[in-house]
Structure 1
Amino acid sequence: MADEMNTLVLTLDTGGDVVIRLRPDVAPGHVARIRELAQEGFYDGVVFHRVIPGFMAQGGDPTGTGTGSSNKPNLQAEFSNVPHVRGVASMARAQNPNSANSQFFICFDDARFLDNQYTVWGEVIEGMEHVDALPKGEPPRQPGKIVKATLRP
């Protein structure tokens, strides 16, 4: 995927598009993975399985359980000084810092305690209200989902 494809659009079933500016300047490997998975249609139909008010919405697991990932190798951490604040998109991972794969989360509020522990790969520039509208829960009773993930310049 060409580097000029620097915007990810998540069309959510909560009524609209979430536009995320990708940050290859701080996490080139993670951005490449997000682009690759979006291009393959991996995120289409995937739910937000963990949505905690005041904290974050997590998705990217094809099983919808929080334990799944893509069949691609895990990524090496790319920690940066970009703070985890409202609208930041970051990779979820297991205890091992180098275990991020396909799951990600979008912060509802400041979560600075995550700084330098999780890889930030983007920031919401439009449509945060659609993330706010996702059904809450761990997991939500009726999880919100990504209808389609697309890349654009």
Structure 2
Amino acid sequence: MYQAQYWVELQALKAHVCYLSLYQLKSEAYERWIGIILAVASSSSIAGWVIWQQYAFVWACFIAGSQVISVVYKFLPFKERIKPLRAAGIELGLLADEAERCWFDVAQGELTEKQINEKRFDIRKRKSAIMQSAFNGMVIPEDEPLMKKAEDHMRKYFKSHYPELSND
């Protein structure tokens, strides 16, 4: 029973590592696209104004919109999460590797049920400490499609590394 619980904890940790990585990539993509839009808006707005004087109102709206985006952009939460996502992802990845390394002893029956349970709760405690340290109370929203993708990555990982244990 405790072996199965450790295995589930290990899978959940790996899925969490995958989720943070995918969330980081998504946040960086948002930041990149907003930066591109703002750069294009500021670079082309003057040229566009000269070229299409008959659409002056459209260009004025475009410029005003880009100004609003540039002000609001500073307050968007994904930008603030990128650096902590990187740090937490690395730390949780190391924890996942350590937990996976310990899986051998768990699977081979080298540890008592009490020791397995202690290791499982140690993983949880360290995971919480890593998240608290990186995010300092900031909440990461759950993106359901991204979570499903992270779980798929986790299943593929364990299926390729532990085919005898993987459930299809």
In the superposition, the TM-score normalised over structure 1's length comes to 0.26
Rg larger in structure: 2
- Structure with larger RCO (C-alpha < 8 A, sep 6+): 2
Instruction: Select the structure that is richer in helix.
Output: 2
In the superposition, the TM-score normalised over structure 2's length comes to 0.24
